[in-house]
Amino acid sequence: MVALIDGYDVALFDLDGVVYLGPDPVSGVPEALAQLDRVGTRLMYVTNNAARPAATVVEQLNRLGIDAGLDQVLTSAQVAASALAKELPTGAKVLVCGSDSLASLLSDVGFEIVDSAQAQPDAVIQGYYPTLNWSMFEEAALAVQGGAAWYATNSDATRPTDRGLVPGAGAAIAVLATVLRRQPTIFGKPYRPMLAEAIARTRAQRPIFVGDRLDTDIEGAVNAGIDSLLVFSGAHGKKDLVTATAMAHPSYIGSDVTALLRAPRIATLSPGQAVCGAQKVRVTAEGASLVTQPDGVEEQLDALWALAQLAWQDPELDVAAVLERLDLIG
């Protein structure tokens, strides 16, 4: 069998919703990552979460049974610090609307960290930080209105956990955007700096990015000009896939990271129908219709992939009946 990963030299992974959910690994993922390492695939973990230092992420991965080193983790905070070091002069004042880890990275590259608008900061940067207090929002809003440049590490609206979705950095950005009526400059996925840095660090010739979010992970891969695998272990599901914009179409789909070790899922289109594996979806006067009955998860994923091709071709196509039958996919 030719596995999906056989066409790539480096696999880049999002973390939340792909490798783990809260404190627990996604089932089967540590074993799949170990197998990828054994077959010679270079691995890097690329996270938009800017709250924790890379060393803490490495510790978590190791606790979950995943062999990873510091050189295999890239955070949006690291990318932001590197980018700002090129954009702002040494010694510039930066108000950090985020974690101590983000502040430390910025201090390390030569910025003066301040905590109020009265200090007349040159820039404000936001990053994911679940214990951020409201007064910091106020100081950040006032600083930007006073002329400070506005940046953010990433814009993920939500973060998947073992208990469900919780607000992400994008939700915090929305608070300031409501006041300021504009958006910050963003470094993390789906914007190019994040994956460009990951590709440079791994010296990848043909990388693939694995993510659970269409608007950050998959769109980020499209922006970077690389292939992607959407997995259904995290934030986005089947309805999100079939309604995705052209800039967020994944190259492949799978239930989880183990899809990299299976044969790639390929769909073929012909007038009025799409076929993937043994699954066939047709276009009728009433909308999309399943010709076959997919029983297991993999068969349902085949049917979903066929359906996605038709839905992307005709956004007005009624896909509700087929999605309802794919009850093993979220």
Q: pLDDT digit string (tens) for 185-214? A: 999 999 999 999 999 999 999 999 999 999
Tell me the average pLDDT of the chain: 95
pLDDT at 160 over 80: no
Q: Count CA atoms closer than 13 A to 156's CA, side-chain side.
A: 34
Q: pLDDT digit string (tens) for 91-135? A: 999 999 999 999 999 999 999 999 999 999 999 999 999 888 999
What's the pLDDT score for residue 92? 97
Residue pair 308/268 in contact by the 8 Å Cβ criterion:
no
3-state secondary structure 123-144: EEEECCCCCCCHHHHHHHHHHH
What's the pLDDT score for residue 22? 84
Burial of residue 16 (number of CB atoms within 10 Å: 0-12, 13-18, 19+): buried
Q: pLDDT digit string (tens) for 305-326? A: 999 999 999 999 999 999 999 9
Going by pLDDT thresholds of 50, 70 and 90, the confidence category of residue 162 is: confident
Residue pair 308/241 in contact by the 8 Å Cβ criterion:
yes
Residues with catalytic annotation? 14, 16
Structural domains of the chain in order of their starting residue, each with its CATH number: 4-48+190-261 (3.40.50.1000), 86-186 (3.40.50.1000), 267-325 (no CATH)
Question: Is 0.85 surpassed by the pTM of this model?
Answer: yes
pLDDT at 32 over 80: yes
What's the pLDDT score for residue 164? 86
